[in-house]
């Protein structure tokens, strides 16, 4: 992420500009961002929440560097809403296949707003990968192509994780519905998955895909050189974000929620979170001299996940005081 001459108040100004652009982007895809599709989210602040995370975490970036990852963040919300509202696994999988095909270069189907939005974003990512990937000193000729392929693969991983959680929710609902008599109090039904498998599925948060987009679009050669290590740390932070959102959204008697606190007690979750945090901070210290801007950004995201900014994120778009 190339720096810019950010002055006092810049993150706030950047957040405002990003949020304005994102609201305009949402207006171009009205079916995706119809308020009715987000019944449990504060609809209008969605753009502001997406803008805040990037503007505060990467205040030395320009609007041009954050525009594409911010739009990717919006697309992630739209895809998650599409999958969450799905009632048929074959239909959901068909949607995922269409999206993966678009990410790999296929044209979106007529009338497919999700695919069209993704195609628009992909075009920007490809331009950035070609510009910044080829400009790396000593970069191999195929570097831009590999960056684009990694981006498409991360999208596939995220969508598969979203579908997997949809399946877990459906199965848990079936188990719950057949486990007690009508009118009786609902017993606690654990999701049909282990805690380790649940955390391996944290890709459904989407932050790893957004952050990979940020590193490709940001033009920071140091980040692109250290991409393997940065993505490994980012994966740990994504798991922490999953645990943090679970902590603020836990509903003990929900029949269709899948939550880490249904799989382990709070002390065990806290111990796991502390281990992830220590591992991430150690690796960030190792990387600090080689790619300081990206380490600053990931450190901010790590603090965000652990509530050091006064609030923790809720995957459903709400803010909870921490």
CA distance 188 to 14: 45
Q: Model confidence at 128, in pLDDT bands (50, 70, 90)?
A: confident
Q: State pLDDT tens for residues 217-264.
A: 887 889 999 999 999 999 999 999 999 999 888 887 776 778 999 899
CA atoms 178, 180, 185, 186: torsion sign: negative
- Residues 201-205: what's their mean pLDDT? 95
Bridge partners (DSSP) listed for residue 311? 321
Q: Is the Cβ–Cβ distance between 205 and 241 less than 8 Å?
A: yes
Position 18 pLDDT exceeds 80: yes
What pLDDT was estimated at residue 171? Answer: 82
H or E segment and range at residue 254: none
Mean pLDDT of 194-210: 94
Instruction: Give the model's confidence band at 7: pLDDT under 50 very low, under 70 low, under 90 confident, else very high.
Output: very low
What is the value of pTM for the model shown? 0.87
> What's the Cα-to-Cα distance from 230 to each of 55, 103, 143, 160, 208, rounded to whole Å?
19, 22, 17, 22, 10
Report helix, strand or coil for 320.
strand
Taking alpha carbons only, the member of 233, 232, 211 closest to residue 220 is: 211
pLDDT band at 191 (very low <50, low <70, confident <90, very high): low
The per-residue pLDDT for range 35-76, each reduced to its tens digit, is 777 665 544 577 887 888 788 888 788 888 899 999 999 999
pLDDT at 125 over 70: yes
User: Residue 4 — pLDDT band, cuts 50, 70, 90?
Assistant: very low
Share of the chain above pLDDT 90, in %: 57
How far is Cα 281 from Cα 298, in angstroms, rounded to an integer?
9
How large is the average pLDDT for residues 169-175? 72
Q: Which domains does the chain have, with CATH numbers?
A: 10-179+186-321 (1.10.600.10)
**Local structure of residue 228 (DSSP, 8 states):** H
Q: How does pLDDT run across 253-303, given as a tens digit for each residue? A: 776 778 999 899 999 999 999 999 999 999 999 999 999 999 999 999 999
User: pLDDT confidence of 176, banded at 50, 70, 90?
Assistant: low
Confidence (pLDDT) at 1: 52
Ramachandran assignment for 185, one of left (phi > 0), alpha (psi -120 to 50 degrees), beta (any other): beta
Q: Which residues have CB under 8 Å from 252's CB, separation 6+?
A: 188
């Amino acid at each position: 992420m190339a720096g810019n001459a950010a002055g006092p108040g810049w993150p706030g100004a950047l957040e405002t500009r990003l949020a304005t652009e994102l609201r305009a982007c949402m207006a171009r895809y009205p079916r995706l961002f119809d308020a009715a599709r987000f019944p449990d989210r504060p609809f209008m602040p969605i753009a502001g929440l997406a803008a805040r995370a990037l503007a505060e975490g990467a205040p030395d970036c320009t609007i041009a560097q954050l525009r594409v990852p911010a739009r990717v963040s919006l697309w992630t919300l739209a895809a998650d809403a599409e999958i969450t509202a799905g009632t048929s696994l074959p239909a959901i999988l068909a949607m995922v296949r269409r999206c993966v095909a678009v990410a790999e270069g296929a044209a979106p189907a007529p009338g497919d707003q999700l695919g069209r939005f993704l195609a628009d974003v992909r075009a920007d990512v490809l331009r950035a990968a070609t510009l910044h990937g080829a400009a790396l000193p000593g970069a191999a000729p195929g570097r831009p192509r590999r960056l684009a392929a990694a981006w498409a693969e991360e999208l596939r991983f995220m969508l598969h994780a979203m579908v997997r959680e949809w399946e877990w929710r459906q199965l848990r609902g079936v188990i719950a519905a057949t486990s007690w008599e009508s009118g009786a109090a609902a017993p606690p039904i654990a999701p049909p998955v282990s805690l380790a498998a649940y955390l391996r599925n944290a890709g459904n948060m989407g932050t790893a895909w957004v952050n990979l987009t940020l590193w490709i679009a940001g033009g920071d050669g140091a980040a692109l050189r250290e991409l393997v290590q940065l993505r490994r740390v980012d994966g740990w932070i994504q798991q922490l974000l999953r645990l943090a959102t679970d902590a603020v959204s836990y509903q003990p008697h929900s029949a269709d929620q899948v939550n880490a606190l249904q799989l382990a007690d709070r002390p065990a979750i806290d111990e796991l979170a502390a281990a992830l945090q220590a591992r991430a901070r150690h690796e960030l210290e190792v990387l600090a001299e080689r790619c300081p801007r990206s380490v600053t950004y990931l450190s901010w995201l790590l603090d965000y996940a652990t509530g050091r900014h006064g609030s923790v994120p809720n995957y459903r778009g709400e803010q909870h005081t921490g």
